[in-house]
Structure 1
Amino acid sequence: MKRALLVIDVQNEYFSGKLPVTYPPGSLERIVKVIEAARSKQIPLVFIQHSALQKDAAAFKKGSAEWKLHPEIAAIPCEHLVEKTLPGSFTGTDLESWLRERGIDTVVITGYMTQMCCDTTARQAFHLGLSVEFLSDATGTLQISNEAGTSAAEELHRAILVTQAARFSKVLTTEQWIDSLT
């Protein structure tokens, strides 16, 4: 098994912007902990950054303060930076070829948001024949309300984890994943 850690959309938009992540508490600290563990085991880091295509976008406007990677993440060197414009990190990017060129067969999912970009990327990876490890407490989300209804952050997060574990990913806590590296 050869892994890469995908750090998905850990951008200021989720901290100081329009979409503050609320669940689970402490997700950023665990993301940093996972990055440190990966670095210590020479697991390649891939930072993924979402950019809105629309010039008048309400969120993730390229070049804005909210679009930038969170300072704790931006300060860490990575092996590859992927810019994406859709929820899936493989769509319209070089991520698949970058992984394949390095013989990577397993991706580890961490970052934001659980039900959108993390879930979509995990499903894409599974469809591409990659193994997926989805970190339950190092991914996060917020309450969502729209014309279909409202989902509390905790219930939305849990529903995605249950679905991921049913077919697409091995769902692990940060501690379980770090322990599996030894």
Structure 2
Amino acid sequence: MSRSALINIDTQQSFFQRDYWQEADFPAFQQAISALISGCQDLKIPVVDIFHVDDSGPFALESGYVKPMPFLQHRADVTFQKHVHNAFTDTGLDLWLRKGDINHLIICGLRTEQCCETTTRVAADLGYRVSFISEATLTFPMSWKGVTLDTQTLRHRTETVLAGRFAEIQTVAECLESLS
């Protein structure tokens, strides 16, 4: 039997302080992640909040920004702090999941192609079944060597590299239906 947990990655106020922050995709993200969290809580699926913490800047605990984005009203079952891109390294998450006999992870949060994707890859390598809910993830355009990838391209790229290898790509509705 499968036991699930929702892994909510880095939905913290620190991002509002970054120069790359954009509002364009934020309303849809808010709606999707709120529906996902609410649906999981209705189904008694534990919600795990993960916060990224750095030594300085807006991701430092002292900044006061390492706390949930204001629209989030849920109470997490457990919260972990991470210092790298994945939610497993030196956090205690894997131990907590295994003690709870949880073998299916639902991934949402920020940023799609960074912490969400990296956590998904590590989770799959650790033997978890993973549902990646890309509409409940958020990212921002990225540039390298004169080429800028917009958020839709980044999302598609992440879905492409994860699908069938590391995770099942689902919408919020598909995920909640599969859990019922």
Same-fold status (TM-score > 0.5): yes
* Counterpart in the other structure of 2:70: 71
The one-letter code sitting in structure 2 at the alignment partner of 1:97 is L
Partners in 2 of 1:111 and 1:10 — Cα distance? 6
* Counterpart in the other structure of 1:62: 61
Give the alignment partner of residue 28 of structure 1, picking from 14, 27, 30: 30
Count residues in correspondence: 177
Q: Call closer, same or farther: CA 1:166–1:23 in 2, change over 3 Å.
A: farther
The one-letter code sitting in structure 2 at the alignment partner of 1:11 is Q
The one-letter code sitting in structure 2 at the alignment partner of 1:98 is W
Gaps of 5+ in 2: none
Matches within 5 A, 1:1-182: 1-14=2-15, 16-18=16-18, 19-20=20-21, 22-23=24-25, 26-53=28-55, 55=56, 57=57, 59-73=58-72, 75-147=73-145, 149-182=147-180
Partners in 2 of 1:153 and 1:65 — Cα distance? 28
> Is the Cα contact below 8 Å between 1:24 and 1:141 reproduced in 2?
no
Partners in 1 of 2:128 and 2:30 — Cα distance? 25
> Is the Cα contact below 8 Å between 1:109 and 1:122 reproduced in 2?
yes
Partners in 2 of 1:63 and 1:104 — Cα distance? 33
Q: Quote the offset at 1:126 in angstroms.
A: 0.3
The one-letter code sitting in structure 1 at the alignment partner of 2:9 is I
Taking every aligned residue pair, what percent have the same amino acid on both sides? 29
Q: Quote the offset at 1:77 in angstroms.
A: 1.1
Coordinate RMSD, CA, aligned: 1.7
Q: SS of 1:71's equivalent? A: coil
Gaps of 5+ in 1: none
Q: TM-score, normalised by structure 2?
A: 0.91
Partners in 1 of 2:111 and 2:172 — Cα distance? 17
Q: Quote the offset at 1:76 in angstroms.
A: 1.6
Q: Quote the offset at 1:150 in angstroms.
A: 2.1
The one-letter code sitting in structure 2 at the alignment partner of 1:103 is D
